[in-house]
Amino acid sequence: MSEMARPFAIERIGSGATPSMVEATATERTAVAARLRVLDVGALRCDYRLRRIGLTAIEAAGTLKAVVTEICVITLDPFSHTVTEAFTVHFVPSGTEDEEPEPDAIDQIPFDGAAIDLGEAAVEQLALALDPYPRRPGASLPDDDALDVPGPFAALSRLRPKA
Kindly give the pairing relationship between strand 115-117 and strand 107-111. Answer: unpaired
pTM for this entry: 0.82
Q: What is the pLDDT confidence band of residue 33, given thresholds at 50, 70 and 90?
A: very high
Q: Which residues of 1-37 are buried (b: 16+ CB within 10 A; e: fewer)?
A: ebbbebebebeebeeeebebebbbeeebbebbbeebe
Tell me the mean pLDDT in the region 104-119: 92
Kindly give the pairing relationship between strand 115-117 and strand 18-23. Answer: unpaired
Q: Report percent pLDDT > 90 for the chain.
A: 71
C-alpha triplet 80, 119, 30: angle, nearest 5°: 40
Q: What is the pLDDT of residues 36-94, one digit of tens each?
A: 999 999 999 999 999 999 888 999 999 999 999 999 999 999 999 999 999 999 999 99
Domain ranges of the chain: 7-159
